[in-house]
Structure 1
């Protein structure tokens, strides 16, 4: 009975250790994923802004008035 108790304590410790480490690993992965998504979203916004700017002739061309 005593050995069973010791093995149960060991098992509980190992299980807790594995569970907590797995949780921290998944949290790190989730945070990295969030950061990547944020970067991609900002890149996409910049790209959209650049494309609309290039596609809009009013934004890129200037009328130059010359006097005869």
Structure 2
């Protein structure tokens, strides 16, 4: 995988609210822990499309970067 730093581009998370950030046109929402989910998870969305839940915010941003790489 080619990291954004290798290409000379750096992308930042923009805080929208206490639980939601924006990254490269996607929203990443932090989901609260509960008895069913003992770890904090992150839900990636763009508009009405859902791209899944991740165990770490870094995994969510890496997934978004891979989507951009596949798009070319």
Q: TM-score, normalised by structure 1?
A: 0.25
> Which structure: greater strand fraction?
2
> Which structure: greater helix fraction?
1
Q: TM-score, normalised by structure 2?
A: 0.24
Query: Which of the pair has more CA radius of gyration?
Result: 1
User: Bigger relative contact order, structure 1 or 2, given CA contacts below 8 A and separation 6+?
Assistant: 2
